[in-house]
């Protein structure tokens, strides 16, 4: 591990290891968890949310919403991986998956996030809707630079996802707002949950190990 490598803004892997040691000695210390959340916030803002903002600020409404959606789909997988404390791993017979700390398929994480985490679960409560989003938005945009089966990405609706006739419209601007709300909720939940704290530490450890 390179302890000098930056993992969250200017925070380094070495600084994380020092903070982790303090967290483990006093896991209920809210001030320490405020600091830990800064690592999470800086990492995701610098690598996901700020690039989205840069695209929005230079938007001509000519299809750049696809780029924003691609970033969002990567981001929600990362958010759920933090929540569960899991790291992606391509498992083999010789190197099997640890189901408690590792994952191989993205679909279960994405569907878990959309159907279990506020404020998203209120928008994806319809049976199968999260699966359709995964197949027709996430996979289609990341792999084909397109959406499929009547799904559209726009900014001229009020809802995060809205059915219009035979189409589903995803408002990528409302989606970003929902991400911001989720992060605030996650911070509050993290401070009061031992399981989330353990998952958080496990996830940042894996980031440092692979950085």
Q: Can you give the C-alpha Rg of the chain in angstroms?
A: 18
Please give the Cα distance from 85 to 100 (Å, whole number). Answer: 8
**How open is the CA angle 71-171-166, to the nearest 5 degrees?**
115
Give the pLDDT band of residue 209 (cuts 50, 70, 90). Answer: confident
94 or 55, higher pLDDT: 55
The β-bridge partners of 162 are 169
pTM of this prediction? 0.93
In this structure, are residues 79 and 182 in contact, taking their beta carbons and an 8 Å threshold? Answer: yes
Give the H or E element holding residue 103: strand 102-103
Please give the Cα distance from 5 to 11 (Å, whole number). Answer: 8
The rounded mean pLDDT for the chain is 94
List b or e across 125-158, with b for residues whose CB sees 16 or more CB atoms inside 10 angstroms.
eeeebbebbbebbbbbbeeeeebeeebbbebeee
Please give the Cα distance from 157 to 153 (Å, whole number). Answer: 10
Q: Which of 145, 112, 155 is nearest to 131 (CA)?
A: 112
Q: According to the model, what pLDDT value does residue 10 have?
A: 94
**Residue tagged 């289609």 (tokens):** 140
Q: Which of 143, 139, 142, 111 is nearest to 127 (CA)?
A: 111
Work out whether strand 6-8 and strand 11-12 pair parallel, antiparallel, or are unpaired: antiparallel
Please give the Cα distance from 9 to 46 (Å, whole number). Answer: 7
Residues in the chain: 211
Residue 111 above 80 pLDDT? Answer: yes
Please give the Cα distance from 78 to 76 (Å, whole number). Answer: 5
Q: According to the model, what pLDDT value does residue 91 have?
A: 76
pLDDT tens profile 22-63: 999 999 999 999 999 999 999 999 999 999 999 999 877 778
Q: According to the model, what pLDDT value does residue 96 have?
A: 83
Residue 2 above 90 pLDDT? Answer: no
Q: According to the model, what pLDDT value does residue 211 have?
A: 65
Longest Cα pair distance anywhere in the chain, in angstroms? 56
Residue 73 above 90 pLDDT? Answer: yes
The β-bridge partners of 171 are 154
pLDDT tens profile 116-152: 999 999 999 999 999 999 999 999 999 999 999 999 9
Residue 93 above 80 pLDDT? Answer: no
Residue 193 above 70 pLDDT? Answer: yes
In this structure, are residues 171 and 157 in contact, taking their beta carbons and an 8 Å threshold? Answer: yes
């Amino acid at each position: 591990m390179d302890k000098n490598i930056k993992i969250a803004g200017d925070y380094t892997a070495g600084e994380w290891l020092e903070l982790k040691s303090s967290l483990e000695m006093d896991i209920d210390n809210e001030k320490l968890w405020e600091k830990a959340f800064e690592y999470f916030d800086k990492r995701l803002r610098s690598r996901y949310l700020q690039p989205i903002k840069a695209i929005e600020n230079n938007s001509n409404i000519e299809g750049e919403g696809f780029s924003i959606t691609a970033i969002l789909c990567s981001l929600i997988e990362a958010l759920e991986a933090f929540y569960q404390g899991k790291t992606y791993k391509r498992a083999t017979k010789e190197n099997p998956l640890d189901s408690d700390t590792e994952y191989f398929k993205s679909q279960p994480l994405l569907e878990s996030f959309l159907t279990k985490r506020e404020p998203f679960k209120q928008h994806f409560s319809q049976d199968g809707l999260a699966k359709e989003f995964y197949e027709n938005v996430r996979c289609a945009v990341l792999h084909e630079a397109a959406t499929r089966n009547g799904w559209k990405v726009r900014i001229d609706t009020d809802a995060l996802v809205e059915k219009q006739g035979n189409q589903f419209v995803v408002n990528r601007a409302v989606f970003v707002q929902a991400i911001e709300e989720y992060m605030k909720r996650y911070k509050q939940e993290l401070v009061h949950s031992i399981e989330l704290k353990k998952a958080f530490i496990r996830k940042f450890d894996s980031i440092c190990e692979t950085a």
